[in-house]
């Protein structure tokens, strides 16, 4: 079996499962945020439930419109907060202690290898980088999960991505996943697990791995999984709140297909509007002027991303007429930016340096685009109207490219400065 199949089989109490099989599984974690939790709570009430299945296995994170931007978002967050207090939820992070959920849960060791996680947020697939099967669901499934601790799955076939060699020319983990999405399309892995392996992955940091798993959903993937190795074990040491279980694919595991990629073919790239698959080399995108740059999100808001952006911005200024917004993914990353002097670099360069929030990524607040404006962003989606007006445009890129673009006022690589 593949890694995905082994995790689902274990949580279904079965010796083995096969693609297409319907299984009902015990869940390790159920996650929701300030947008999705209120609906899930309504479902929980409609079921007649009075207590969550396990107060230690529920995670509620106010991160999308928090700190609250208006009365409606305040009411949403209050509903989640009241529920968390009523149910004595262990993993509820209040504003000031919270952060972007998909950076926060790995950072705090709340999710561990071998877990089966559902989250009422599509980028729950991020935790696959830790060797977990984690996937986004609707608020209805999340509500049922809150009450029962169970969910049904159709076992997905797995596509194996073997990426070999060393990244060159300034290419990063973000470029790896954009390259893959550009290669197979936004539905190229529809309802399939994406298993990433090869020397390129083995030599990559955990921050980079989470960037790749995070965007599996942008190719239609049900999950984006990597096997646990020494790099992961070292990063996880001292974090895990529960015993971890490592699952490794069998040598004779059956895959829907195997995609082999030479890392030397991966160049710094940008996804043009209005699909993540619309990828173009940075070198062919320098004619595109920008009004705004956003550096952060559940995709690229970790400390490695902050350092990459700061390295470009140090001693430089954001171009006149450009707004650059830098958002660390968690309070711990925020503090580390201050301790390492990165916050000073960002502020001295003329950036907005914000408290952790998903804000601009979903067009919520802290960076809404006006009609016709263009933004280069380290986020994960560039759909029509994603960050604001339907005529605005979002270009997806790595932190270094976003920072370089902010300096010159058009899409650029750090080597262009």
Angle at CA of residue 375, ends 371 and 380, nearest 5°: 115
Confidence of residue 95 (pLDDT cuts 50, 70, 90): confident
Query: SS3 for 380?
Result: coil
269 labelled binding-site residue? no
Q: Are residues 153 and 286 in the same domain?
A: no
Task: Please count the structural domains in the chain.
Answer: 2
Confidence of residue 55 (pLDDT cuts 50, 70, 90): very high
Q: How confident is the model over 254-272, as pLDDT tens digits?
A: 999 999 999 999 999 999 9
Q: How many CB atoms lie within 10 A of CB 132?
A: 32
Final residue belonging to a domain, choices 216, 239, 261 = 261
pLDDT surpasses 90 at 352: yes
The pLDDT, as a whole number, for residue 85 is 97
Q: Are residues 257 and 154 in the same domain?
A: yes
Q: Are residues 140 and 70 in the same domain?
A: yes
Q: Are residues 255 and 382 in the same domain?
A: no
Rounded to an integer, the average pLDDT of 204-217 is: 97
Q: Are residues 229 and 273 in the same domain?
A: no
Task: Supply the CATH number for residue 408's domain.
Answer: 3.30.499.10
Here the tokens at position 158 are: 């797995």
Q: What is the pTM of this model?
A: 0.95
358 labelled binding-site residue? yes
Q: Are residues 341 and 294 in the same domain?
A: yes
Q: Are residues 67 and 132 in the same domain?
A: yes
All residues at 6 or more sequence positions from 336 whose CB lies less than 8 Å from its CB, including other chains: 303, 306, 328, 342
Final residue belonging to a domain, choices 245, 261, 277 = 261
What average pLDDT does the chain have? 96
Q: How confident is the model over 309-341, as pLDDT tens digits?
A: 999 999 999 999 999 999 999 999 999 999 999
> Which residue do the tokens 């994170």 mark?
61
Report the percentage of the chain scoring pLDDT > 90: 98
Q: Are residues 228 and 344 in the same domain?
A: no
Here the tokens at position 234 are: 């070292």
298 labelled binding-site residue? yes
Residue 358 to residue 369: CA distance in whole angstroms? 15
The pLDDT, as a whole number, for residue 133 is 98
pLDDT surpasses 90 at 41: yes
Q: Are residues 183 and 94 in the same domain?
A: yes
Give the domain extent around 234. 3-261
Q: Are residues 293 and 253 in the same domain?
A: no
Query: Is 208 within 8 Å of 300 (Cβ atoms)?
Result: no
pLDDT surpasses 90 at 169: no
The pLDDT, as a whole number, for residue 353 is 96
Confidence of residue 98 (pLDDT cuts 50, 70, 90): confident
Closest of 155, 120, 111, 100 to residue 44, by C-alpha: 120
The pLDDT, as a whole number, for residue 295 is 98
Final residue belonging to a domain, choices 261, 290, 310 = 261
Q: How confident is the model over 358-401, as pLDDT tens digits?
A: 999 999 999 999 999 999 999 999 999 999 999 999 999 999 99
Q: Are residues 181 and 35 in the same domain?
A: yes
Q: Are residues 254 and 328 in the same domain?
A: no
């Amino acid at each position: 079996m593949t890694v995905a199949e082994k995790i689902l089989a274990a949580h279904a109490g079965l010796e083995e499962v096969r693609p297409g099989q319907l299984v009902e599984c015990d869940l390790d974690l159920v996650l929701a945020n300030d947008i999705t939790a209120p609906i899930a709570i309504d479902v929980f009430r409609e079921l007649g439930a009075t207590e969550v299945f396990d107060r230690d296995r529920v995670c509620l994170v106010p991160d999308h419109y928090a700190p609250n931007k208006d009365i409606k978002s305040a009411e949403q967050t209050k509903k989640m907060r009241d529920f968390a207090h009523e149910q004595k939820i262990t993993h509820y992070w209040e504003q000031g202690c919270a952060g972007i959920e998909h950076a926060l849960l790995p950072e705090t060791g709340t999710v561990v290898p071998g877990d089966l996680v559902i989250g009422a947020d599509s980028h729950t697939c991020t935790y696959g980088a830790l060797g977990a099967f984690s996937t986004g669901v609707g608020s209805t499934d999340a509500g049922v999960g809150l009450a029962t601790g169970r969910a049904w799955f159709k076992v997905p076939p797995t596509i194996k991505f073997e990426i070999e060699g060393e990244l060159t020319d300034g290419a990063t983990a973000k470029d790896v996943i954009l390259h893959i999405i550009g290669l197979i399309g936004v539905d190229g892995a529809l309802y399939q697990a994406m298993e990433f392996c090869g020397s390129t992955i083995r030599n990559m940091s955990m921050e980079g791995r989470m960037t790749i798993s995070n965007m599996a959903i942008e190719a239609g993937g049900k999950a984006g999984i990597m096997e646990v190795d020494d790099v992961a074990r070292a990063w996880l040491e001292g974090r895990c709140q529960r015993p971890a279980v490592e699952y490794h694919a069998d040598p004779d595991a059956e895959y829907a297909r195997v995609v082999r990629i030479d890392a030397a073919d991966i160049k710094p790239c940008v996804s043009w509007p209005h699909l993540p698959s619309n990828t173009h080399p940075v070198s062919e995108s320098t004619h595109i002027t920008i009004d705004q740059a956003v550096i952060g999100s559940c995709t690229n808001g970790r400390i490695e991303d902050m350092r990459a952006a700061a390295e470009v911005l140090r001693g430089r200024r954001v171009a006149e007429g450009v707004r650059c917004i830098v958002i660390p993914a968690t309070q711990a990353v925020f503090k580390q930016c201050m301790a390492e002097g990165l916050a000073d670099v960002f502020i001295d360069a003329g950036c907005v340096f914000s408290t952790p929030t998903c804000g601009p990524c979903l067009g919520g607040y802290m960076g809404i685009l006006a009609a016709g404006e263009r933004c280069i962003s380290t986020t994960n989606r560039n759909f029509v109207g994603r960050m604001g007006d339907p005529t605005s445009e979002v270009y997806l890129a790595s932190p270094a490219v976003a920072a370089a673009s902010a300096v010159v006022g058009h899409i650029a690589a750090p080597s262009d400065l």
